[in-house]
C-alpha cells in the first residue's frame, strides 16, 4: 500500500474517533460520579457488585456514589459520597462505615449515618447519627444523635442527643438531652436536659433540667430545675427549683424554691410566694412579701412576710398576718393587738 493511502486511512480513523468521543469536560467541572456495576440478577433478584441501582438480595460496594435501593443486605467499606441517595430495607453493614438516606431494618458499622431516617436497629461502634429521625434500638460507642426525633431505646457511650422529641429510653454515659420534649426514661452520667417538657423517670449524675417542665420522678445528685412546673417527685442533692409550680414531693439537700408550692417540701432551706401543704426546713423557711402559706411548717425560723393560715413550729416564728397558731420560743404575730404581738411558747390569731 502506498504511503499516502496509509496516511489518509490514519487521518480518517482519527477523525471518526474524535466524532464518536464526547468533548472533554471544562477544567473546573466536578468529576463525574462512577456508576459502574456488575449485576448478577434476574428481575433485580440476586447479587450486585458496585453501584447497582436496585438489588433484591446482596449488594457489595466499596463506596456508594449514586442513588440506590436495596431489599436485603448492603455491604460497603466507606460512607456514601451522596448519603441522600440510598435506601436500604434489611441490613446495612459497614466494614468499617456505612450510611444511606434511609435504613429500615439493621444498620451496623464502626460508624453508621443516615441523612433522613433509620427505622429498626442501629449499632455504631464509634457512633450513630441521623440528619432526621431515629426509631428503634440504637447504640453508639461514643454517641447517638438525631437531627429530629428519637423513638425507642438509645444508648450512647458519651451521650445521646436530638434536635426534636424523645419518646422511649435514652441513656448517655455523660449526658442525654434534646431540644424538644422527652417522654419515657432518661439516664445521664452527668445530666439530663430538655428544651421542652420531660415526662417519666429521669436520673442525672449531676442534675436534671427542663425548660418546659417536669412530670414524674426526677433525681439529680446536685439538683433538679425547670423553667416551668414540676409535678411528681423531685429530689436534688443540693436543691430543687421551679419557675412555676412545685406540685407533689420536693426534697433538696440545701434548698427548695418556687413561686408556687403545692404538697410536701423537705429541705434545709425553703421558700416560695404561695405555699400550700407541709414544709420541713430545719434552718429557714420564708414566704415572700404579700405571699401566703396554708398548712404546716417546721423550721428553726419561720419567716412569713405575708399571711399564715395554719400551724408554724420553730424556735422563732414571724407572721405579718397570722391566721392560725405559732409554737416556739419566740412568736411574733404582727396583726395582733399591742401586747400580744410577741409571745413566748405560743401565739395565735383566729378571725
| pLDDT tens digits along 55-86 | 999 999 988 888 899 999 999 888 788 655 78
C-alpha cell at 146: 438525631
Please check whether residue 142 lies inside any domain of the structure: no
pLDDT value at 343 more than 50: yes
Entry pTM: 0.80
Q: Looking at 131, 154, 175, which one is the last position of a domain?
A: 131
**What are the backbone dihedrals phi and psi of residue 4, each rounded to the nearest 5 degrees, phi first?**
-70, -30
Whole-number pLDDT of residue 12: 34
Residue 100 vs residue 85, higher pLDDT: 100
Whole-number pLDDT of residue 66: 80
Q: Looking at 131, 154, 180, which one is the last position of a domain?
A: 131
Average pLDDT (182-201) is 95
Q: Looking at 131, 159, 185, which one is the last position of a domain?
A: 131
Q: Is 135 left (phi over 0), alpha (psi -120 to 50) or beta?
A: beta
Please check whether residue 323 lies inside any domain of the structure: yes
Please check whether residue 269 lies inside any domain of the structure: no
Please check whether residue 261 lies inside any domain of the structure: no
- What gap in Å lies between CA 143 and CA 125, rounded to an integer? 9
Where does residue 241 rank: exposed (0-12), middle (13-18), buried (19+ CB within 10 A)? buried
The DSSP call for residue 47 is: E
Please check whether residue 12 lies inside any domain of the structure: no
Average pLDDT (134-162) is 94
Please check whether residue 55 lies inside any domain of the structure: yes
**Domain containing residue 319:** 282-351
User: With contact defined as beta carbons under 8 Å apart, do 125 and 109 qualify?
Assistant: yes
Pairing relation of β-strands 197-204 and 159-162? unpaired
3-state secondary structure 221-269: CCEEEECCEEEEEEEECCEEEECCEEEEEEEEEEEEEEEEEEEEEEEEE
Please check whether residue 311 lies inside any domain of the structure: yes
* CB-based contacts of 170, cutoff 8 Å, min separation 6: 150, 153, 154, 155, 160, 176, 178, 182, 184, 185, 186, 187
User: With contact defined as beta carbons under 8 Å apart, do 58 and 73 qualify?
Assistant: yes
* Band (2; pLDDT cuts 50, 70, 90): very low
C-alpha cell at 227: 423553667
Question: What stretches of the chain show up as alpha helix (H) in DSSP?
Answer: 3-20
- Name the domain count of the chain: 2
User: With contact defined as beta carbons under 8 Å apart, do 197 and 181 qualify?
Assistant: yes
Average pLDDT (264-285) is 98
- What gap in Å lies between CA 255 and CA 133, rounded to an integer? 39
Please check whether residue 195 lies inside any domain of the structure: no
pLDDT value at 220 more than 60: yes
Average pLDDT (216-243) is 96
Of 22-26, 129-133, 241-245, give the lowest mean pLDDT range. Answer: 22-26
* Band (246; pLDDT cuts 50, 70, 90): very high
* Band (24; pLDDT cuts 50, 70, 90): low
Amino acid at each position: 500500500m502506498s504511503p499516502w493511502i496509509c496516511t489518509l486511512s490514519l487521518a480518517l480513523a482519527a477523525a471518526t474517533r474524535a466524532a464518536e468521543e464526547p468533548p472533554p469536560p471544562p477544567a473546573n467541572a466536578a468529576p463525574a460520579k462512577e456508576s459502574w456495576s456488575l449485576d448478577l440478577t434476574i428481575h433485580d433478584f440476586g447479587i450486585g457488585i458496585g453501584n447497582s441501582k436496585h438489588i433484591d438480595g446482596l449488594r457489595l460496594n466499596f463506596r456508594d456514589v449514586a442513588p440506590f435501593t436495596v431489599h436485603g443486605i448492603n455491604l460497603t467499606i466507606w460512607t456514601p459520597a451522596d448519603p441522600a441517595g440510598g435506601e436500604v430495607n434489611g441490613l446495612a453493614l459497614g466494614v468499617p462505615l456505612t450510611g444511606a438516606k434511609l435504613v429500615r431494618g439493621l444498620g451496623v458499622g464502626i460508624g453508621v449515618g443516615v441523612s433522613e431516617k433509620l427505622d429498626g436497629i442501629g449499632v455504631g461502634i464509634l457512633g450513630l447519627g441521623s440528619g432526621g429521625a431515629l426509631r428503634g434500638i440504637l447504640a453508639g460507642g461514643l454517641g447517638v444523635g438525631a437531627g429530629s426525633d428519637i423513638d425507642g431505646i438509645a444508648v450512647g457511650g458519651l451521650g445521646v442527643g436530638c434536635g426534636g422529641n424523645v419518646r422511649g429510653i435514652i441513656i448517655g454515659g455523660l449526658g442525654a438531652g434534646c431540644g424538644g420534649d422527652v417522654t419515657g426514661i432518661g439516664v445521664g452520667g452527668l445530666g439530663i436536659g430538655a428544651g421542652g417538657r420531660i415526662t417519666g423517670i429521669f436520673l442525672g449524675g449531676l442534675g436534671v433540667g427542663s425548660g418546659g417542665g417536669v412530670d414524674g420522678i426526677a433525681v439529680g445528685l446536685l439538683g433538679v430545675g425547670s423553667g416551668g412546673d414540676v409535678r411528681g417527685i423531685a429530689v436534688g442533692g443540693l436543691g430543687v427549683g421551679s419557675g412555676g409550680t412545685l406540685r407533689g414531693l420536693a426534697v433538696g439537700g440545701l434548698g427548695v424554691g418556687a413561686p408556687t408550692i403545692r404538697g410536701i417540701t423537705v429541705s434545709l432551706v425553703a421558700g416560695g410566694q404561695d405555699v400550700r401543704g407541709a414544709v420541713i426546713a430545719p434552718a429557714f423557711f420564708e414566704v415572700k412579701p404579700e405571699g401566703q402559706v396554708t398548712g404546716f411548717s417546721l423550721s428553726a425560723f419561720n419567716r412569713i412576710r405575708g399571711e399564715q393560715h395554719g400551724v408554724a413550729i420553730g424556735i422563732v416564728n414571724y407572721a405579718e398576718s397570722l391566721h392560725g397558731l405559732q409554737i416556739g420560743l419566740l412568736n411574733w404575730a404582727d396583726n395582733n393587738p399591742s401586747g400580744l404581738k410577741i409571745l413566748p411558747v405560743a401565739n395565735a390569731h383566729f378571725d
